[in-house]
């Protein structure tokens, strides 16, 4: 188990969990999609709704809708959602999903959009084929093309595509800032926020 200063993290379930990750420094070049607060963060107070009904993932600062597991995540805070984790900031939620997606590649050898999304959004719970097509098109890659998620630019495009699919593109563009995306992906890659 990987232990850090503030918490421990373990691979605890088949979908949406985190395990020890090898850290690679790389510069992040995230997509230009996020429009909200490009010079700051757009995190919401967990559980709050600032004037509109936000998708669950955004209300929880958990844009990937990561399910509760055994070990706590950095930035995880108590929330009233029985199924999904609540994070203190959007950056923490983005970081968690980026680490988890990288783990799918480094620990489970999943290296295509089809394989990664097949685990992230399994059939029975999701329209997995539609999810794969959406993420591949949004990230600008073929569903079965090999990906190298040690590069923050590719990881950022994939993470942002998942965020848009999970929460709707309009809501994602409004509530997930470029700064949150950049910081979360850089932290997941082992670089500075």
Q: Is residue 162 part of a domain?
A: yes
Q: Is residue 160 part of a domain?
A: yes
- In sequence order, the 6+-apart residues with CB closer than 8 A to the CB of 135 are 113, 117, 158, 161, 162, 165
Torsion of CA 12, 128, 43, 190, to 10 degrees: 50
pTM greater than the 0.85 cutoff:
no
**Range of 130's domain?**
2-188
Phi, psi of 89 (to 5 degrees): -135, 160
Q: Is residue 59 part of a domain?
A: yes
1 has a pLDDT exceeding 90: no
- In sequence order, the 6+-apart residues with CB closer than 8 A to the CB of 118 are 110, 128, 132
| Residue matched to tokens 């630019």 | 153
More confident residue, 111 or 22: 111
Q: Is residue 193 part of a domain?
A: no
> What was the pLDDT predicted at 52?
54
Region 47-54: what's the mean pLDDT? 59
Lowest pLDDT segment from 37-51, 65-79, 88-102, 178-192: 37-51
Structure tokens that stand for 71 in this block = 């070990």
């Amino acid at each position: 188990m990987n232990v850090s200063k503030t918490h421990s993290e373990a691979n605890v379930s088949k979908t949406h969990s985190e395990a020890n990750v090898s850290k690679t420094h790389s510069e992040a070049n995230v997509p230009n999609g996020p429009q909200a607060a490009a010079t700051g963060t757009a995190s919401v107070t967990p559980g709050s709704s600032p004037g509109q009904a936000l998708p669950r993932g955004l209300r929880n600062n958990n844009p990937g809708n990561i399910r509760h597991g055994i070990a706590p995540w950095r930035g995880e805070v108590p929330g009233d959602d029985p199924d999904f984790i609540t994070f203190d900031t959007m950056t923490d939620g983005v970081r968690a999903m980026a680490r988890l997606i990288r783990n799918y590649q480094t620990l489970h050898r999943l290296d295509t959009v089809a394989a990664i999304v097949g685990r992230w959004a399994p059939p029975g719970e999701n329209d997995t084929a539609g999810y794969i097509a959406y993420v591949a098109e949004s990230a600008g890659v073929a569903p079965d093309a090999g990906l190298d998620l040690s590069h923050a630019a590719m990881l950022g495009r994939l993470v942002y595509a998942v965020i848009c699919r999970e929460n709707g593109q309009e809501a994602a563009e409004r509530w997930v800032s470029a700064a949150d995306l950049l910081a979360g992906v850089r932290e997941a890659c082992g670089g500075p926020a």
